[in-house]
Amino acid sequence: MIKEARLIGLTGTNSAGKGEVASFFEKKGYAYFSLSDLIREELRKIGKEVTRDNLIKKGNELREKGGHDILAKLVMKKVKDKSVIDSIRNPKEVEYLRTQKNFVLLAVDAPVELRYERAKKRGRAESASTLEEFIKKEAEEMTDLEKGQQLHNCMKMADFLVINDGSLKDLHRRLEELL
């Protein structure tokens, strides 16, 4: 069960609801960290716009230079207590986090059409103005490239899978059941 977890890792597809899951655990006393936020910081340092394309490219560059688990190692320097770690996208990140005490990996998914609608409402630079572009962009995050993003492989490694295809209340109920 998740109740014993000191670290909860989140992986899953774009706009599936990982942020809502993280928020749920923050309300339960967990600190929040995001591997994507580490990449956003790097993009801002070099004056690059924070777009989905740039996040993917910069994340892959960081893995190329620092190792496949570099983002997990960097985030663990910030973790002090019970924490939820969002945006895990490479199996080596999962492997590294599994070496930490009481780590649980939670995958979040939802139907692609629903995720696309959520992404449009979110207002971020998603680099996809149509469902087809959204699906194509997501394929870039589902590679088997060792230094790239491997969402599908991370999701296979999850201890629990939550399908977020209903209301926020439904999602919270599902998470409470895991606790």
Distance CA 107, CA 89 (A): 11
Q: Which residues contact 94 (CB under 8 A, 6 or more apart)?
A: 9, 11, 72, 88, 105, 154, 157
Quick: pLDDT tens for 116-169.
999 888 776 555 788 998 888 887 777 766 666 788 999 999 999 999 999 999
User: Between 5 and 43, whose confidence is greater?
Assistant: 43
Six token digits for residue 131: 């469902």
Q: Where are the domains of the chain?
A: 2-178
pTM over cut 0.85:
yes
Quick: pLDDT tens for 129-139.
889 988 888 87
pLDDT at 83: 97
Mean pLDDT, range 24-29, rounded to an integer: 96
- Phi and psi dihedrals of 164, rounded to 5? -100, 75
Q: Which CATH number, 2.60.120.260, 3.40.50.300, 3.30.70.100, 3.40.80.10, labels domain 2-178?
A: 3.40.50.300
